[in-house]
Chain A
Amino acid sequence: MSIRRHPLLIPALILLMLIAALGSVTLGAVPLSPARILAVLTGGGDDVARAILIDLRLPRMLLGLIVGAMLGLSGAALQGYLRNPLAEPSVLGASNAAALGAVCALYFGLAQMHPLALPALAITTSLIGIGALFLLAGPAESPLTLILAGIAIATLSGAGISLSLNLSPNPFAAMEIMSWLMGSLENRAYSHVWIALPCVAVGAALLIADGRTLDALTLGEDGAQALGIDLRRARLRLMLGVAIGVGGAVAVSGAIGFVGLIVPHLVRPLTDRSPSAILLPSMLGGAVLLTLADIGVRLIPTSSELKLGVLTALLGVPVFLIHLMRERRLW
């Protein structure tokens, strides 16, 4: 078992992120020749290639990086805070709660009234979801109560999303429900980037600053407090960080599951395994994973484009299975 961070971990993740970003711009449903792409990148190029690259693929690539980074980071922070390797924004219901807020803003016309209504509502409902989670799970925060509370919140929010879409005059309700519950980065524009980016920046700053608190929690709540940690404030920062960041991310992408679960598990063996050491790698890794998954849904030949959450769920289930096998001592 490694006890030190692999020296190449961060450079490798940054390199992977650049490769994924480049792939996200160059690969897609419409094949563009390298010459045409290069022409656009150097400032020339034809109008079609320019529209595809600059107006469609570039915002999509940026959103993949931003949303993925937030999901990876919040998974790592929640796992550290709750001392539970299964914690993650979508498992704990925070993502679905944020999606419910976004859906309400969109389908009851609030988003048209003010551009800030959508992210504000997503953040608020996400905060309510996390607050309810901490209340329901209680101070013991055992894995079982936590997962049960998370399921309750996720299910309730999912039902709320289905209900509000059912009641809306939108004839494509079923498709819309799917896209909010499974997440997608299809047809996103720069306006979406401007919603997500500030929220994710604030949320990530709140989470990444608290690494030391998470480390102290390795010794449990009493142990951390006896080391001088003010847990009430730390909990507030964590809740706000996750709610603002995930709220802003989900407001543009829908609830994409499992990224926050998979990434910390992948990077943890390459670090000293302390909760603070996986924060930054999880953020970079989340950006890489979601961008790659987004390239995947574009390239996998299906009649209509796959939802992003479908692919991440396929990747997430093995992590649960490995845990199950470890619990049952089959591994």
Chain B
Amino acid sequence: MVTIRAQGLSVRLGRHPAVNGIDLYLEPGQLVGIIGPNGAGKSTLIRAMLGLIKRENGSVLIDGTDSAHMTRRAMARRIAYLPQGQTLHWPLAVERLVALGRMPHLGPLSRLSVEDEALIDAALARADALHLKGRVATELSGGERARVLLARALAVGAPALIADEPLAALDPGHQIDVMDLLKAEAQAGSLVVTVLHDLGMAARYCDRLVLMDRGSLVADGAALDVLTEASLASVYGISARIDASGKWPLILPMGRVKS
């Protein structure tokens, strides 16, 4: 179980204010979707919460402890992070790549234990990638790669997972698989935060949506409270058909609105 609280979080990228005084409290057991147009500051917000980027203002509390006083290793054990569009710099075997996820738990010179190996296999299995174990990660298809990288994040075994655009490059079937997996993680008690561009997926799966625009948080709550015709028009500049009659809400972008 882990909680993350951002208080008055602001980040500047160069001169450009990328994140503007954001307050956010994230609780375990929820799948939280962060949505917003390109350049809204979603990834920057995530990176600031993880301490990967210099904060201009504000603080981040992890389980009530100021993250500025936590070591990187302690952070890494609490929160697993799947960066956006992860590039792999060496042609590692899938097994070796996923094993990197155990790094926050390893002593300075220790090797992977039997327990670690089991967790690696379990993570691969959950991401439906166990059959790829012996392959070379850089030779996989986009979808296979995305699942292997997700397995890498799962292998950390942290109580929180932050995934930046995990659906990019996935076909609809695998998109559903990944969302099912994230949902299952949340239902098992983890805190799962994910940046999404597919509003339909966001509305269908997320327990809570956080809508960002130009560095600020503009709406926060259940899918149908956040995704309204008015908010979609003002934030995304689109008109959309919103159908709340079915089992889950359907969001269908229709066209541009003139602002």
Query: Residues on A close to B: CB < 8 A?
Result: 1, 3-4, 83, 212, 215-220, 222-223, 225-230, 272-275
Contact = CB atoms under 8 A, between A and B. Distances in A.
Contacts of B12: none
A176 to B, nearest CB: 40
Nearest to B53: A222
A225 to B, nearest CB: 6
Given A212-B103, A222-B81, A230 B89 contact: no
A217 B139 CA distance: 19
A273 B92 contact: yes
A223 B85 CA distance: 11
B88 interface: yes
B83 A274 contact: no
B11 to A, nearest CB: 14
B76 A228 contact: yes
A228 B89 contact: no
Contacts of B96: 3, 272, 274
29 contacts: A3-B96, A212-B106, A215-B103, A216-B100, A218-B97, A219-B88, A219-B152, A220-B87, A220-B89, A223-B81, A223-B83, A225-B50, A225-B52, A225-B72, A226-B52, A227-B100, A227-B101, A227-B104, A228-B75, A228-B104, A229-B72, A229-B103, A230-B71, A272-B92, A272-B93, A272-B96, A273-B93, A274-B92, A275-B90
Nearest to A79: B90
B103 A83 contact: no
B168 interface: no
Contacts of A218: 88-90, 92, 97, 100
Given A3-B93, A227-B103, A273-B91, A220 B83 contact: yes
A225 B97 CA distance: 15
B197 interface: no
Contacts of B74: 228
Sort A-B residue pairs by CB-CB distance and give the 6 closest, nearest first. Answer: A228-B76, A228-B73, A3-B93, A226-B81, A83-B89, A228-B104
A82 to B, nearest CB: 9
A218 B94 CA distance: 12
Nearest to B162: A226
Contacts of A273: 90-93
Contacts, number: 83
Contacts of A274: 90, 92, 96
A79 B50 CA distance: 27
B134 interface: yes
Contacts of A227: 76, 100-101, 103-104, 156
Nearest to B76: A228
A164 to B, nearest CB: 39
Nearest to B94: A3
Given A228-B72, A273-B93, 13 more contacts: A1-B139, A219-B86, A219-B89, A220-B89, A225-B50, A225-B72, A226-B75, A226-B79, A228-B73, A228-B75, A228-B76, A228-B77, A228-B104
A219 B52 CA distance: 14
Interface in B214-257: none
Contacts of B152: 219
A244 B139 CA distance: 38
B80 interface: yes
A215 B76 CA distance: 16
B136 interface: yes
B47 interface: yes
A216 B103 contact: yes
Nearest to A278: B90
B165 to A, nearest CB: 14
Nearest to A211: B109
